[in-house]
Structure formats: structure tokens, C-alpha cells
């Protein structure tokens, strides 16, 4: 899915964007904080993904995502990516002055669509902007967008998950076509864009590593360091 936004780009979402996930999903559920992956910079780049299999919601562990070798080829992961439309994802296809939010897949689960719409509303509110769902043919102000999607936006996170668990059984996983442009880039094109990104993107560790380090330290505290014998070290 794709949404386009336009507004006042002199403003910034940099300080507030880490509160978006609380509105898109939840801040804390049953005593556990929401788990999500993210990346962002101060030039309207923001990437958010709900960690469906982390400890934030036990229901996802029972879902049959039919995961093979590639978890991105299922609804397990749905990346919501905000960027200017002339970014690397669409280089050669889109050139313009609009922001775009693109998802991993063409059709997405209700829980992810609800998050997408909330993300669009938060960004549009920050830039005093408008939202387009039809490739910039028509534009809605924030209140018009809310009214159009009021039924979805009125769902709670838990209600959206319940619906999504049923959707997983019947929906087909189809990649958003715009992502094909990434694969069509040459190495030199990708390198040139990366050199530009280095100047603005903040280096932020993947939160999962902190959790793995914590669990490793806890294991060592309980069981002690694992000592390998000579044979194991040779292997």
C-alpha cells in the first residue's frame, strides 16, 4: 500500500516520532512495552515495524504465518516506511516533492493498516498537511481522512489483531510493486545513494540485540560462563 502526504516540510517530526508506535499499536499491554523495530533521521525518513513475535502479544505466537526461509514473504513483518518519494525505493519511477508511506506488501493486515493510517495522520498533523490514497489524484485533509476511515480507526489494537488473525488464513502475500525498484538498482547506483544517506541517517542499534544481550547476561548469572573443551574449540 502507498499513501502520499504534502504540507509544510519546514517543520519536523524528529522529536515526536518515537511516540508514534504508542498510538499505532500500544505503549504497554499486560505490563509489557510494545516491541518494534525502527530507523529514522531528521529529514522525514521513518521506518517502523511491529515485532509481532516478540513478547508484546501472545496471540501472534499461535498464528500460522506459513513461514519458510523468508519471513518477509509472509505477514509476519510489515514495514511502514516514510520518505520523500524521490528516495532510493522509487528512484527512476517517482520524482517529486511529496512524502510517501509505503508498506512491504500490497494488501496488509487490519492491524498494520490501522497503524499505517495512524502514522499518516500523525505525520500530516505535524506538517499541517493532506493525504492522498490514489497516487496524488485527490487529496483529503486530516478530518476528511479520519471520517473516511472512522470504522478502522475506532478499532482497538486488540480488536485489530483478532481480525488480522482471521485474515492470515485467507489473504495472499503480494509484495508492493514499488519495492521492485530497489532490486533494479545497480551496485554503483545503490552506493551513490548510500553515500548521501550517511550524511543524514542516525546509526541506531536494532533493539533486538539489547534483548539478546540481556538474556545472555541472565543466563551467565544463573549458569556461569560456558567452557569449551579442546575438541569443541577445534571444531
pLDDT given at position 51? 84
Look up residue 15 and give its three cell numbers. 522529536
Range of the domain at 201: 2-234
| Three-state DSSP class for residue 120 | helix
Give pLDDT tens digits for 188-226.
666 666 676 676 666 666 555 565 666 666 666 666 665
Distance of CA 172 to the CA centre of its chain: 19
Look up residue 115 and give its three cell numbers. 497503524
pLDDT given at position 78? 87
CB 105 within 8 A of CB 173: yes
Give pLDDT tens digits for 151-163.
999 999 999 999 9
SS (H, E, C) 146-185: HHHCHHHHCCCHHHHHHHHHHHCCCCCCCECHHHHHHHHC
Nearest to 207 by CA among 47, 43, 31, 12: 47
Question: What is the tally of structural domains in the chain?
Answer: 1
Look up residue 41 and give its three cell numbers. 533521521
Low-confidence ranges of the chain (pLDDT < 50): 68-69, 88-94, 228, 232-233, 235
Sign of the CA dihedral running 144, 148, 150, 153: negative
DSSP state of 82: E
CB 6 within 8 A of CB 129: yes
Amino acid at each position: 500500500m502507498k499513501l502520499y502526504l504534502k504540507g509544510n516540510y519546514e517543520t519536523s517530526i524528529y522529536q515526536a516520532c518515537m511516540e508514534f508506535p504508542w498510538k499505532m499499536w500500544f505503549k504497554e499491554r499486560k505490563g509489557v512495552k510494545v516491541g518494534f523495530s525502527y530507523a529514522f533521521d531528521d529529514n522525514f525518513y521513518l521506518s517502523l515495524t511491529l515485532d509481532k513475535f516478540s513478547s508484546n502479544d501472545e496471540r501472534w505466537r499461535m498464528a500460522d504465518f506459513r513461514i519458510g526461509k523468508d519471513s518477509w514473504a509472509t505477514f509476519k513483518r510489515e514495514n511502514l516506511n516514510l520518505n520523500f518519494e524521490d528516495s532510493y525505493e522509487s528512484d527512476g519511477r517517482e520524482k517529486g516533492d511529496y512524502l510517501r508511506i509505503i508498506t512491504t506488501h500490497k494488501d496488509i493486515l487490519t492491524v498494520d493498516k490501522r497503524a499505517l493510517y495512524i502514522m499518516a495522520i500523525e505525520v500530516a498533523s505535524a506538517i499541517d498537511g493532506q493525504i492522498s490514497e490514489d497516487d496524488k489524484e485527490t487529496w483529503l485533509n486530516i478530518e476528511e481522512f479520519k471520517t473516511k476511515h472512522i470504522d478502522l480507526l475506532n478499532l482497538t489494537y486488540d480488536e485489530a489483531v483478532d481480525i488480522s488473525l482471521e485474515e492470515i488464513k485467507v489473504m495472499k502475500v503480494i509484495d508492493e510493486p514499488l519495492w521492485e525498484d530497489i532490486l533494479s538498482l545497480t551496485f554503483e547506483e545503490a552506493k551513490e545513494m548510500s553515500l548521501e544517506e550517511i550524511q543524514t541517517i542516525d546509526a541506531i542499534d536494532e533493539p533486538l540485540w539489547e534483548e539478546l544481550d540481556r538474556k545472555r547476561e541472565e543466563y551467565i548469572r544463573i549458569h556461569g560462563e560456558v567452557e569449551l573443551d579442546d575438541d569443541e574449540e577445534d571444531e
